[in-house]
Structure 1
Amino acid sequence: MQRAVMGEVLDRYERAELLADWAEARQRLGAGAFVGDLVRTPAQRRADALYAIFVRAASPPADAASPVPLVNVVIDQRSFEEQVRRAAGEEMDLDPNDDLGGHRCHDLDGTPLHPADVLAAALVGHVRRVVVDHRGARLRDRGGDRRSTRQWRSVC
C-alpha cells in the first residue's frame, strides 16, 4: 500500500512540474507551443519532482497536513468480505489448496496488495466503487468518493 501512495504523490508532483513547463513554454512562445518546446525532459521533471518532495518533507510548515492521495484498489468481493469477517472476529476455515484464481487484490498498476491493508484503507479512507464482471468489464458506473466509516457503523 505504501508503494501505491508514494507513486500517487510522485505522480502529483510530476504533473505540477509538467504544468510549469507548459506555462513557461506558452509564455515564451505563445499558444503555438508544443511538447518539443518544453525545457525539460520527462526524466528531468521526474527528478525535479522527487527533489521537491524531499525539500517539502524536510521543511513542512507548522500547520501542514499530510496529502490525501487517491489510490485505486482492485479487490474481488469475496476477498473483501473475508477480510471484513476476519476483522469482526469470525474464524475462517481456510483451505491452503483452495483455488485463488478468482481472487484479485492489487492497485491499478498490478502491484499486489494484502487484503488486510485494503480493508484498513477502506475503513479510514475514501471509497470509490467500480463493479466489474469476471472479464473486467464495467457493469455499473462507479460510485462517488465517500467515507466508508459511516457505512460500517450502520452495519455494526
Structure 2
Amino acid sequence: ARQKVLNGFPGYIGHQIDITISAPGAVAEVGHIVLGRNHILGRIMDGAEVGHVSHSRKEFDQFGDELLIKRGSTRKVTVPLRVPTVQAPRVMDLVAEVDGLVTAFYGSSEYAPNYGIEGLGFVDDHTQSLDAAGDSIFTLVLKTIK
C-alpha cells in the first residue's frame, strides 16, 4: 500500500507496541511510523488540494547558459474543514499547540478511513472565518518535510 493510517491503539503508560513489517519475496519499505495523540479537527470539504513544491533551482553560468540544479521536493496540502463554530477555539488551540513542530496529519472520509491526504510536516498557515449561525470554514495549509 502506498499509505496506511491505523489509529485507535490504547496509549496506556507501561504498555508496549510491537510493529512487524514484512514482505516475503520483496523489499519492505516504510517512510514514517508515528505514535501520538489523535485529534479530530473537523470534516474535510470538497476542494482539498495537494500541490508539488519543487526545491530545484535554475541558475545561470558565467556565459548566461541556464543550469538546472536538481533538488528534492515536498508537498503543500490545503484542506478546507467544516468545524462547528462552538468548536472554533478548540481547533485554534490545537493548531497553536503544534505550531513550529513536525506533526503527522491525515484526512480521510468515512468511506475510505485508511486512505486519504496524509503527511509528516508542519502547519504553514491557517485561517478560520467564524459563522455565528452554526458551522465555520477552517482552511489549514500544511507543508510536508522530506
Q: What TM-score, normalized to structure 1? A: 0.27
More helix by share: 1
Task: Report the structure, 1 or 2, having the larger strand content.
Answer: 2
Bigger Rg, which one:
1
Larger relative contact order (C-alpha < 8 A, sep ≥ 6)? 2
